[in-house]
Amino acid sequence: MTLFKYYFILLLLVVLMACGTQKQATDNQNLNEKTENSKPVELSEEKRIEFEYLFIEGLKQKMLGNQEMAIQYFNGCLDINPQSATSLYELSGIYVLKGEIVSAKLLLEKAIQIDPSNKWYKLLLAQIYQGNNEYSKAGEIYAGLLQAEPDNVDYLYQSAMLSASSDQPKKALNAYNELERVVGYNEQIALARQQLYREMGENKKAYAEIQKLIDTFPDVPEYHGVMADMYKEDGKMEEALKHYHKVLEMDPSNGFVHFSLATFYLQDNKIDEGYSHARKGFSNPDVAIKTKIQLYLMLVNAPDAISLDDSDIEELVALIVEAHPDDARSYSIMADYLIQQKRSEEARDYMLKALDVSSDNYQLWEQLLMIDNELLDFESMAKHSEKAISLFPSQPLLYVLNAVANLQLKEYQKVLKSLESGQLYVADNKRMAGQFEMYRAEAYYNLGEKEKAFSSFDKAIGINSENYMALNNYAYYLSELGVELEKAEVMSGRVVQVHPDNPTYLDTHAWVLFKKGEYRLAKFYMDTAMQNGGDESDVVIEHYGDIHYKLGDVENALKYWRQSLEMGNSSKLLKKKIEEKRYIEGEE
């Protein structure tokens, strides 16, 4: 019923906008505009010719889509004749197209005041009221129009729907009954009345309305589905089940009823029966993919009592892919499922298939790049981000992701080039501007341009004082160089205060303290880092060894240095520490 309603509204609006002007030109050949509520404006021959010229030019520019020029011409008409309802109407139509509803409404109200007998003005105003949720005002207009044309089907439909939208169900019922008198009994009217009865709590009448549809059109299975849904909503499961099975009896391939039965049985903890119906619904290509995705999301988020096994869920998603091979959403939903299962490689394959179908979908490219990043496949991330940038050059995040990939690939000049290319699109996005400066700083530092790097870090933090990654990395680089250690301590201290369990941030703070000679305090923070996953990082382990050495514990220092080496740390300095059994100052 909803689909029919909005289609009808849209159709009527199109008819009004397309036909109103033509009709108006016919109804108002007298450009002196004699009206009921205003004195006619007497124009000289010269002014009449000028008015006609401006009006025709206005119509022409409106048809060509030159809205601003059309507005100027019609305003010129009003300068000559302020009582020109036709010009007001044409201007209001342009403002509707521009989305300036208040102006359109005021112009039409004035046009109707000048010429209250013109139904085309009233119809457009009613549509504007309706679009602005002023249903009562729109209803008043249709009520007035119905007095002149009591059997007009369009007016009757609108009056009924507006009454329903205005929470006037009894008035809406009367309107639908009057409409039925004119057009006869039909599905749309019956379904509309059924909904109104449900809203009014008159369920017996609602059931009777659908039963009448079933009796009148016994070969239409959908009406049994409506009846089943009502019984289900009211908790009458046996009656609901009888009507669902009636639908299947009449139409065995009806995918929607399989979904209804799937939900019915799963909620009743009859998993096998529910899953059987779910499979049939998911495999049916005639069921919209949106409906399947909604059921899939319901199943994966369902309580444990009705949840399916992972293998069952995966089979259902595979059925979506099989039924909708030309829809990118099918591959995307499979990718989402595989990501949840921590099968990122497979997820990326499906995301690439989605992009084969819909390469112009920005969100899919963003998801693909996030998977590349998760897989630490920075070569693919660089390649895919370059492709995405070529398709969506105004998306600043793509330049950031490209910079991240090239940083990991040690392509620092490419990082700077990418950030420079994307700078234009950052605009007023301060958070994004901070990211640009942070990654620019990383590139400069690794190119040995320390002053430029620290300048960019200062800019990044100035833009966003809560950019904790920038604060952390800036502090670490300062400590590595042994400069501005007080500043480094303040920055790293702020970071660990907000992220007290992050081993990377704890390691940085400990290393700043180490550089300041505060070895016991450094060990305190490094102990915390080790307890929170820092023991999985060869760099953290090496630093832990350095701290032990400075505290006089050479045995443990060697232990952690060797452990770092075994974990894959290829630092020449580390090997020298182990060989000489002593801490050696130098950049890591």
Task: Give CB contacts under 8 A, 24+ apart, made by 560-565.
Answer: 564/538, 564/539, 565/538
Q: pLDDT higher for 62 or 348?
A: 348
Confidence of residue 155 (pLDDT cuts 50, 70, 90): low
CB neighbours of 449 closer than 8 A, spacing ≥ 6? Answer: none
Give pLDDT tens digits for 475-493: 999 998 989 999 999 999 9
- What is the per-residue pLDDT for 151? 66
* pLDDT-based confidence at residue 164 (cuts at 50, 70, 90): low
Phi, psi values for residue 166, rounded to 5° = -90, 10
- Of 572, 562, 503, give the one whose Cα is nearest residue 536: 503
Inside any domain, residue 441: yes
Asked whether 447 and 477 are in contact (CB, 8 A), the reply is no
Number of residues assigned to the chain: 588
pLDDT at position 244 is 82
Same domain, 457 and 365: yes
Question: Are 524 and 447 within one domain?
Answer: no
Average pLDDT of the residues of the chain: 82
Question: Is 567 inside a domain boundary?
Answer: yes
In this prediction, residues 58-77 reach a mean pLDDT of 88
- pLDDT of 449 reads 93
**Structure confidence at residue 20 (pLDDT):** 40
Rounded CA-CA distance 165/172 in Å is: 9
Alpha-carbon distance 315 to 300, whole Å? 13
pTM (predicted TM-score): 0.63
- Does 541 share its domain with 477? yes
Task: Give the Cα separation of 265 and 283 in Å (integer).
Answer: 18
Residues 423, 493, single domain; the answer is: no
Q: Most confidently modeled of 65-79, 115-129, 137-151, 292-306?
A: 65-79
Band the pLDDT of 12: cuts 50, 70, 90.
very low
- Specify if 341 maps to a domain: no
Which helix (H) or strand (E) segment is 318 a member of? Answer: helix 310-323
- Comparing C-alpha atoms, which of 287, 334, 289 is closest to residue 314? 334
* Contacts of 504-507 spanning 24+ positions with Cβ under 8 A: 504/472, 504/529, 504/534, 504/537, 504/540, 505/468, 505/472, 506/532, 506/534, 507/534, 507/537, 507/539, 507/540, 507/543
State the Cα–Cα distance between residues 440 and 428, nearest whole angstrom.
18
Q: Which residues in 483-499 are b (16+ Cβ under 10 Å) and which e?
A: eebeebbebbebbbeee
Q: State the residue for tokens 């990377």.
A: 504
- Same structural domain for residues 455 and 398? yes
pLDDT of res. 302: 65
In a domain? residue 507 = yes
Mean pLDDT of the 70-98 span? 87
Residue 455 included in any domain: yes
Stated as kind and residue range, the H or E segment containing 241 is helix 237-250
Domain containing 546: what range?
A: 466-580
> Could you give the CA distance from residue 182 to residue 171 in angstroms, rounded to a whole number?
17
Q: In the listed set 439, 465, 491, which residue is the last one of a domain according to the structure?
A: 465
For the chain, how many structural domains are there in total? 2
pLDDT of 230 higher than 80: yes
Give the per-residue pLDDT at 484: 92
Q: What is the DSSP letter of 219?
A: T
**489 and 444 together in one domain:** no
The pLDDT assigned to 65 comes to 85
- Measured distance CA(390)–CA(498) in Å, rounded: 38
Q: Which residues contact 575 (CB under 8 A, 6 or more apart)?
A: 565
**Is a pLDDT exceeding 90 seen at residue 548?**
yes
One domain, residues 495 and 544: yes
Residue 34: band (very low, low, confident or very high) from pLDDT cuts 50, 70, 90: very low
pLDDT of residue 136: 67
Mean pLDDT across 83-105? 85
Q: Mean pLDDT, to the nearest integer, of 67-76?
A: 89
Q: What is the pLDDT of residue 157?
A: 67
Whether residue 556 is predicted with pLDDT greater than 80 in this model: the reply is yes
> Is residue 471 located within the same domain as residue 538?
yes
Greater confidence (49 vs 403) lies with: 403
List the Cα angle 41/46/50 in 5-degree steps. 80
Q: HSE, CB side, 13 Å, CA atoms: give it for residue 567.
A: 17
For the segment 388-439, what is each residue's pLDDT rounded down to a tens digit?
999 999 999 999 999 999 999 999 999 999 999 999 999 888 889 999 999 9
pLDDT class for 160, splitting at 50, 70, 90? low
pLDDT reported for residue 269: 74
Q: Residue 7: is its pLDDT beyond 80? A: no
Query: Mean pLDDT over residues 20-42, rounded?
Result: 44
User: In this structure, are residues 31 and 43 in contact, taking their beta carbons and an 8 Å threshold?
Assistant: yes
Mean pLDDT along residues 377-388: 95
Q: According to the model, what pLDDT value does residue 147 have?
A: 67
- Cβ atoms within 10 A of the Cβ of 146, count? 17
Residue where a domain stops, chosen among 465, 481, 505: 465
Q: How much is the pLDDT for 423?
A: 92
Band (pLDDT 50/70/90 cuts) for residue 228 is confident
Same domain, 470 and 565: yes
Average pLDDT over residues 237-263: 79
408 in a structural domain = yes
3-state SS record for 21-62: HHHHHHHCCCCCCCCCCCCCCCCCHHHHHHHHHHHHHHHHHH
Q: How far apart are CA 439 and CA 441, in angstroms?
A: 5
Say yes or no to pLDDT of 102 above 90. Answer: no
Contact 581, 554 (CB under 8 A): yes
CATH number of the structural domain spanning residue 528: 1.25.40.10
pLDDT category at 555 given cuts 50, 70, 90 is very high
What tens digit of pLDDT does each residue of 493-541 get? 999 999 999 999 999 999 999 999 999 999 999 999 999 998 899 999 9
CA–CA gap between residue 185 and residue 216 (Å, rounded): 10
- Contact yes or no for 83/115 (Cβ under 8 A): no
- What radius of gyration, in Å, describes the C-alpha atoms of the chain? 36
The residues, any chain, with a CB within 8 Å of residue 311's CB and separated by 6 or more, are: none
| Domain co-membership, 437 together with 493 | no
Query: Alpha carbon of 239 to those of 227, 268, 278: distances in Å?
Result: 9, 15, 21
> Residue range 240-257: average pLDDT?
79
Given a cut of 50, is residue 4 above it in pLDDT? Answer: no
- Mean pLDDT along residues 230-235: 83
Reply yes or no on whether the pLDDT at 35 is more than 70. Answer: no
Residue with tokens 């390691």: 507
Q: How far apart are the first and last CA of the chain?
A: 70
**C-alpha distance from residue 252 to each of 20, 139, 248, 259, 295 (Å):** 48, 43, 4, 13, 20
Residue with tokens 């000289």: 44
State the virtual CA torsion across 193, 197, 200, 201 in degrees, nearest 10.
Answer: -170
pLDDT of amino acid 540: 92
> Residue 9 — very low, low, confident or very high, per pLDDT cuts 50/70/90?
very low
Residue 482 lies in a domain: yes
Q: Cα 34–83–52 angle (5° rounding)?
A: 80
Q: Residue 312 and residue 315: Cα distance in Å, rounded?
A: 5
Of residues 532 and 178, the one with the higher pLDDT is: 532
Query: Residue 126 — pLDDT band, cuts 50, 70, 90?
Result: confident
Least confident segment among 28-32, 87-91, 235-239, 512-516: 28-32
Structure tokens at 66: 């030159």
Q: What is the mean pLDDT of residues 338-353?
A: 93
Same domain, 427 and 478: no
pLDDT confidence of residue 495: 94
Q: Considering only CA atoms, which of 521, 502, 501, 497 is closest in space to residue 511?
A: 521
The DSSP code sequence of 494-505 is: HHHHH-TT-HHH
CA distances from 22 to 17, 27, 303 (A): 10, 9, 60
pLDDT for the residue numbered 335: 93
% of the chain beyond a pLDDT of 70: 86
Does 470 share its domain with 576? Answer: yes
**pLDDT value at 166 more than 60:** no
pLDDT of residue 161: 65
Nearest to 89 by CA among 66, 72, 114, 68: 114
**Strongest mean pLDDT among 182-186, 234-238, 370-374:** 370-374
Of 465, 483, 508, the residue that ends a domain is: 465
